Amino acid sequence: MVIGFDTEELARRAAAGDRGALDELLAAIGPRVLEQCGRFLPCRQDAEEAAQDALVQVARHIERFEGRSLFTTWLHTVVANCARQTYRSLRRRAAEVPSALLPVDVVDPRTTSVIAGSRLDLLDALDRLEAHRPELVTALVLRDMCQLDYQEIAGQLGIPVGTLKSRIHHARRHVRESLQGD
Looking at the structure, give the CATH architecture of the domain made up of residues 107-181.
Answer: Orthogonal Bundle (1.10)
Residue 98 has pLDDT above 70, yes or no: no
- Indicate the domain borders of the chain: 1-105, 107-181
Question: What tens digit of pLDDT does each residue of 29-86 get?
Answer: 999 999 999 888 878 898 999 999 999 999 999 999 988 788 988 999 899 999 989 9
What is the structure's pLDDT at 2?
45
What is the structure's pLDDT at 4?
56
C-alpha distance from residue 143 to each of 50, 74, 100, 137, 154 (Å): 20, 13, 41, 10, 10
Is the sign of the CA dihedral 129, 131, 135, 137 positive or negative? positive
Tell me, yes or no, if the two domains 1-105 and 107-181 fold the same way. Answer: no
C-alpha distance from residue 81 to each of 24, 30, 78, 141, 156 (Å): 23, 16, 5, 9, 14
What is the structure's pLDDT at 117?
52
Question: What tens digit of pLDDT does each residue of 122-152 get?
Answer: 888 888 888 889 889 888 888 887 778 899 8
Residue 110 has pLDDT above 50, yes or no: no
CATH classification for the domain delimited by 1-105, as one of 3.40.50.2300, 1.10.20.60, 1.10.1740.10, 3.90.1300.10: 1.10.1740.10
Q: CA torsion, points 72, 77, 79, 83, in degrees to nearest 10?
A: 160
d(CA 45, CA 92): 17
Vertex 28, ends 26 and 33: CA angle to 5°? Answer: 75
